[in-house]
């Protein structure tokens, strides 16, 4: 069973940092969420896997995955918990660059063209990383049904996904930590 309060406590304790930071989007911020401090923790992985499976609900996609390396532990957690629950679900990874040999693909894992998938992400700010993952998935022939994040910074990601007609959900938002998103 997903324990939202336990996830908030873990993020607050291990992942939420205050100071002056430059985000992947290039934006400046007064706080940073280091998602890997939670996704690579046993308790965090369990909570995230349970929470995302609960969000996926009874109509599961064929697979979950996202941009390597950030989405890899999330994918592993969700697929592992699905296995524990005896629910069929596959995982996949989206490479930032093709490996230059073998099949030379951006998508790795047991997925095929036509599979319905969900993109997973640790922290969404503007959505840029997930949008690149969506583009690579579509090029491969996957049908991206939605994006699920652990935390939404509430800085434009939801709106960017809406422009692509991709539903977006998150386990938490920045407001769960008493932080208001910037206006405008």
Taking 70 as the threshold, does the pLDDT of residue 47 lie above it?
yes
Regarding predicted confidence, which is higher, 100 or 64? 64
**Tell me: the pLDDT tens digits for 117-127?**
999 999 999 99
Measured distance CA(119)–CA(112) in Å, rounded: 15
Would you state the pLDDT for residue 25? 76
Q: Mean pLDDT in the chain?
A: 94
**Tell me: the pLDDT tens digits for 3-42?**
999 999 999 999 999 999 998 778 888 999 999 999 999 9
Q: What pTM value is reported for the model? A: 0.94
Would you state the pLDDT for residue 24? 79
Regarding predicted confidence, which is higher, 17 or 1? 17
Band of residue 104 on the pLDDT scale cut at 50, 70, 90: low
Taking 90 as the threshold, does the pLDDT of residue 183 lie above it?
no
CA torsion through residues 24, 160, 124, 18, sign: positive
* Rounded (5°) CA angle 133-134-138: 115
Looking at the structure, give the CATH architecture of the domain made up of residues 4-177. 3-Layer(aba) Sandwich (3.40)
Would you state the pLDDT for residue 1? 73
Band of residue 102 on the pLDDT scale cut at 50, 70, 90: low
Would you state the pLDDT for residue 103? 63
Where are the strands (E) in 2-142, listed by range?
A: 16-22, 28-33, 63-67, 90-94, 107-108, 116-124
């Amino acid at each position: 069973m997903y324990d939202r309060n336990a996830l908030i406590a873990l993020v607050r304790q291990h992942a939420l940092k205050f100071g002056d930071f430059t985000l992947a989007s290039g934006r400046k911020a007064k706080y940073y969420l280091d998602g890997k401090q939670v996704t690579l923790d046993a308790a965090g992985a369990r909570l995230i896997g349970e929470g995302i499976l609960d969000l996926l609900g009874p109509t599961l996609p064929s697979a979950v995955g996202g941009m390597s390396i950030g989405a890899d532990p999330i994918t592993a957690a969700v697929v592992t918990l699905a296995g524990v629950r005896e629910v069929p679900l596959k995982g996949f990874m989206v490479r930032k660059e093709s490996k230059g040999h073998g099949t030379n693909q951006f998508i790795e894992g047991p997925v095929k063209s036509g599979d319905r998938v969900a993109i997973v992400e640790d922290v969404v700010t503007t959505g840029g990383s997930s949008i690149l993952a969506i583009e690579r998935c579509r090029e491969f022939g996957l049908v991206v049904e939605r994006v699920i994040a652990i935390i939404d910074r509430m800085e434009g990601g939801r709106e960017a996904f809406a422009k692509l007609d991709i539903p977006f959900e998150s386990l938490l938002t920045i407001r769960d930590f008493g932080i208001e998103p910037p206006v405008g």
